Every structure is written in C-alpha cells, then in structure tokens.
C-alpha cells in the first residue's frame, strides 16, 4: 500500500485520461446520425441502432469481466481495452458500408466493459470511503469537461470535413491514454485473487445481496435512460427544434456543462445528505425533467429544462458509482463488471426502444419512455439500496 500511496497524485489524472479517451467514438455517432444515415442510405432510426448493437456486445464482455478481473490484473485489462479502442476507431474511419461500420464500432462494446469497471476498481482500491465520493465526483466532472471539449471539436470536424475524419481525429487521445496507463498505473489484482477464492464466488456474493442487486437494476434504468437522452439530443435539437449542427452542438455543450456541475455538486453533497438520498431524489426529478424536455415547443423552455435536467443527471452519475463501490468490497471488480453489464443492457434497451418509439410515435412518447425508466429506477434505489455508513 505504501507504493500505491506514493503514486496517488498521478493515478487519478491517468484514470481520467484513460476513461475520457473512450468517449469520443460515441460522441461521433451521436452527433453524426444524420450524416451517417445519408452516407449509407439508411434511416436515422436504423443508424441509431449502432449504439444498441454495441451495448449488446458490451453486456457479454462485462459478464465475463467478473471472471477476468479475478484472473488478470486491472492494468492489463485496461490496456487491452484501450488498444481495442484504437483499432476500432481506425477501422471505422475506413468503413465502406453500413454493415462494416456496425461491425467495427461494435468493438467499442468490448472497450467499455474492459475500461470502465477497471477505472472504478482502481478508485475502490486506492481511496477509502470518506474520499471516494469526492474522487468519483472529480473524475466524473473532469471526464465531462473532456466530453465538452470533444463535442465542440468533433462538431467542427464533422461540419467542415466529414464524420470519417472525426474518427481519425480522436485516435491520438486514445494513444495518450494507453501510454499513460502503461507508464503510471501499477499492476493490481482484486482482493478475491489474493485470497484464492473461486472465480464464481464473486458472482454468488454479489447476486445474493439484495442491496447490490437493487443498485445494479436501478443503475441499469437511470443510466440507460440518460444515455438514451444523450444519444438522441443532437438529433432532437436538429429535427424538432430546427437548429443547425453548430447551434445544436452549442446547446448540447450546455447540457454537458450542467452534467459537469452536477458531478462536482454530487461529490460535495454526498457526505452531507447521503448518497442514496441524492440518487433517489435526483432520479425522480430527472425523469420529470426529461419528459418536459422532449414535450415542449419553446426553445427557451428547452434551454431551461436542459439546465436543471443536466445538473440532476450529473449528481446521479457521481452518486450511483459511489454507492456501487461500497457494495461487497471484497469483490469490487465483480461488482463493477456486473454494473457495466447492467448499464450496457440499459443503454441497449433505451436506444433500441427509443428508436422504435421515435419511428412509430415521435419525440414526445420517447420522452415519456425515458421518464418512466428514471422514475422506476428511483423506486428501486429507494426500496433496495443500502448505503455504507
């Protein structure tokens, strides 16, 4: 632990860079749905299913990660994910058909399930309970800052050149994440590995605890819903609010700024009001705000609702991960891997159902769908989650 303490100052920046480097590919897809659909002659609804297919791939990998996190070090798994991400973006930039784009981008499902659980597992190993909410808040807020910058840059690249060039544009960031991870992070194995406990014991311990299950199901619903809103927002602003790509990118940036504020506020307020309480209240409020966001015709109201909705969502993103890290501490790698699977299942469901609802009923019903996912998630957290004292 002495060596871990010495590296603390470099570990968090490295984790932030590593996890932030896997976000840009999804930003490109979310911002370029219209251009991608036009390039390959498919509908926007079909183009949006790229994310659904990717999430389905991620579920299988995340479930396997419960075993892999026992057998292999966090560092090796993290490096593998970043390498796959680099290969994926390079292949996407040269995809000659929609089918090939789907195949190449689906590799990002592997990336998400390899990188995200390991980043949070490192936090669980390095920081104690009192520090964790602030560390998670810092990571989430700075990741969102990176997201904000990339939205602007990617919007510029897509608008002035083409969506294919955007994939090449983000490749250097992934290389930096890979190199910093290789040079800075030490090899850490999960506690269950050191105790030589059977690899399936982690699954049994996590799935037998009602509080852990409630956190997984609740996060599946609220995170899936929010990613659905995130994925469709630029398209919604362009189609329903009649904004150009540059204007939609600016409004979308406002949404990200709200998330950044929420990430920071969540880390600060968690110690004062309790993580579970914040998750429940903010999940309920976010659901209602999502419904309003996708059911108003006034541009001014859209801006107001985005401001409040995004701050609430940012608080949730910080607090749900903090709550998960205190569930079954001896099998933290397994918990975060199962959470990755649950989150990807939520994303797959929200993007798939969202696309179907959009094609059949329109944006208003899509807003109602995402609203209900948040409200049900709030109820699940309230009834089942237990916060570490």
- Span 142-158, pLDDT tens digits: 887 888 788 778 877 87
Dihedral of CA atoms 73, 78, 80, 81 in degrees, nearest 10, equals 140
Convert the pLDDT of each residue in 262-291 to its tens digit. Answer: 888 887 787 778 888 888 999 999 999 999
Q: How far is CA 275 from CA 12, 43, 139, 163, in A?
A: 21, 41, 17, 39
Q: How far is CA 238 from CA 49, 245, 366, in A?
A: 19, 7, 16
CATH superfamily of 10-184+199-384: MFS general substrate transporter like domains (1.20.1250.20)
Q: Is the pLDDT of residue 82 over 90?
A: yes
Side-chain-facing half-sphere of 271: CA atoms under 13 Å: 12
Sign of CA dihedral 61, 138, 320, 347: negative
In the chain, DSSP finds a helix count (H) and a strand count (E) of 18, 0
Q: Is the pLDDT of residue 1 over 80?
A: no
| pLDDT for residue 239 | 79
Q: Determine which of 177-186, 215-224, 270-279 has the lowest per-residue pLDDT on average.
A: 270-279
| pLDDT for residue 344 | 77
Q: Is the pLDDT of residue 2 over 70?
A: no
Q: Is the pLDDT of residue 4 over 70?
A: no
Report residue 362's pLDDT band, with 50, 70 and 90 as the boundaries: confident
| pLDDT for residue 120 | 83
| pLDDT for residue 199 | 55
| pLDDT for residue 5 | 59
Average of pLDDT values for 305-317?
89
| pLDDT for residue 76 | 85
Sign of CA dihedral 5, 6, 7, 9: positive
Q: Is the pLDDT of residue 352 over 80?
A: no
Cα-to-chain-centroid distance, residue 213 = 19
Question: What percent of the chain lies above the pLDDT cut of 90?
Answer: 12
This prediction's pTM: 0.69
- Please tell me the chain's helix, strand, coil percentages from 3-state DSSP, rounded to the nearest 5: 85, 0, 15
Helix (H) or strand (E) holding 92: helix 74-92
Structural contact between residues 202 and 19, judged by C-beta atoms closer than 8 angstroms: no
More confident residue, 175 or 34: 175
Per-domain residue ranges for the chain?
A: 10-184+199-384
Q: Determine which of 18-32, 60-74, 107-121, 348-362 has the lowest per-residue pLDDT on average.
A: 60-74
More confident residue, 327 or 191: 327
| pLDDT for residue 194 | 45
């Amino acid at each position: 632990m002495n060596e871990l303490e010495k590296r603390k100052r470099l570990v968090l920046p490295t984790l932030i860079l590593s996890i932030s480097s896997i976000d840009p590919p999804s930003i490109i897809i979310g911002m370029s749905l219209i251009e991608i659909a036009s390039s390959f002659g498919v509908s926007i609804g079909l183009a949006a299913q790229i994310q659904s297919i990717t999430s389905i791939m991620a579920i299988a990998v995340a479930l396997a990660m419960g075993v892999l996190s026992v057998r292999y070090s966090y560092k090796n798994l993290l490096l593998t994910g970043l390498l796959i991400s680099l290969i994926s973006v390079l292949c996407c930039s040269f995809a000659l058909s929609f089918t090939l784009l789907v195949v190449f981008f689906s590799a990002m499902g592997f990336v998400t399930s390899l990188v995200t659980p390991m980043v949070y597992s490192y936090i669980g190993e390095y920081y104690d309970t009192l520090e964790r909410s602030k560390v998670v808040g810092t990571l989430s807020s700075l990741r969102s800052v990176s997201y904000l910058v990339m939205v602007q840059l990617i919007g510029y690249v897509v608008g002035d050149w083409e969506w294919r060039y955007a994939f090449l544009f983000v490749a250097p960031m992934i290389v930096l994440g890979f190199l910093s991870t290789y040079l800075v992070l030490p090899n850490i194995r999960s506690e269950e590995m050191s105790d030589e406990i059977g690899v399936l014991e982690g699954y049994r311990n996590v799935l037998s605890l009602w509080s852990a299950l409630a956190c997984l199901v609740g996060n599946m619903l609220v995170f899936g819903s929010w990613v659905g809103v995130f994925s469709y927002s630029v398209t919604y602003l362009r189609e329903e609010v009649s904004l150009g790509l540059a204007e939609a990118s600016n409004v979308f940036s406002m949404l990200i700024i709200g998330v950044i504020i929420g990430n920071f506020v969540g880390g600060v307020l968690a110690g004062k009001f309790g993580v579970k309480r914040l998750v429940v209240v903010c999940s309920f409020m976010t659901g209602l705000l999502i419904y309003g966001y996708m059911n108003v015709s006034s541009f001014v109201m859209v801006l107001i609702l985005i401001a409040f909705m995004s701050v609430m969502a940012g608080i949730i993103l910080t607090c749900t991960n903090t709550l998960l890290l205190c569930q079954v501490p001896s099998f933290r790698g397994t918990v975060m891997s199962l959470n990755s699977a649950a989150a990807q299942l939520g994303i797959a469901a929200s993007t798939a159902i969202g696309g179907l609802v959009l094609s059949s009923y329109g944006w208003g019903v899509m807003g109602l769908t995402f609203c209900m996912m948040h409200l049900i998630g709030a109820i699940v957290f309230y009834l089942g989650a237990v916060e570490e004292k």
